[in-house]
Amino acid sequence: MSKKLPDLISHYRAAGGSLLDLGCGTGTLLIALAGSFGRLTGVDQSPDMLRHAAEAARRAGVDVDLVRGDLRDYRGDRRHSVVTCTYNTVNYMVDAGDLDLAARTLRAATEDGGLAVLDAHPVWFVERAWAGQVFVEQNTEDILEVWENPYDAATGRVDTTVTVVRRTPEGGWHRVHETHPQRGHDPAAITGALLAAGFTSVDTYAGLDREPVREDTRRVWYVAR
- In tens, the pLDDT along 134-156 reads 999 998 999 999 999 999 988 88
Q: What is the DSSP string of 65-100?
A: EEEE--TTT---SS-EEEEEE-TTGGGG--STTHHH
107: CATH: 3.40.50.150
Looking at the structure, tell me whether residues 118 and 167 fall in a common domain.
no
Q: Which residues contact 199 (CB under 8 A, 6 or more apart)?
A: 103, 106, 107, 110, 116, 224, 225
CA gap 68, 51 in Å, rounded: 10
Looking at the structure, tell me whether residues 9 and 116 fall in a common domain.
yes
pLDDT tens digit sequence for 54-98? 999 999 999 999 999 999 999 999 999 999 999 999 999 999 999
User: 36: closest CA among 54, 20, 15, 56?
Assistant: 15
Q: Is the pLDDT of residue 14 over 90?
A: no
Give the predicted TM-score (pTM) of the model.
Answer: 0.93
Q: Which residues contact 192 (CB under 8 A, 6 or more apart)?
A: none
CA gap 186, 80 in Å, rounded: 26
Q: Is the pLDDT of residue 21 over 90?
A: yes
Looking at the structure, tell me whether residues 81 and 157 fall in a common domain.
no
Domain limits for position 131:
124-182
Looking at the structure, tell me whether residues 40 and 112 fall in a common domain.
yes
What's residue 197's pLDDT?
A: 98
What's residue 174's pLDDT?
A: 96
CA gap 166, 146 in Å, rounded: 12
Looking at the structure, tell me whether residues 99 and 200 fall in a common domain.
yes
Looking at the structure, tell me whether residues 86 and 177 fall in a common domain.
no
β-bridge mates for residue 96, sequence order: none
Structural domains of the chain, count? 2
**Higher pLDDT, residue 200 or 5:** 200
Looking at the structure, tell me whether residues 108 and 206 fall in a common domain.
yes
Q: Is the pLDDT of residue 15 over 80?
A: no
Looking at the structure, tell me whether residues 108 and 130 fall in a common domain.
no
User: 82: closest CA among 56, 107, 49, 117?
Assistant: 117
Looking at the structure, tell me whether residues 138 and 216 fall in a common domain.
no
Looking at the structure, tell me whether residues 58 and 169 fall in a common domain.
no
Question: 188 burial class (0-12, 13-18, 19+ CB within 10 angstroms)?
Answer: exposed
What's residue 149's pLDDT?
A: 96
At residue 40, the 3 state secondary structure works out as: strand
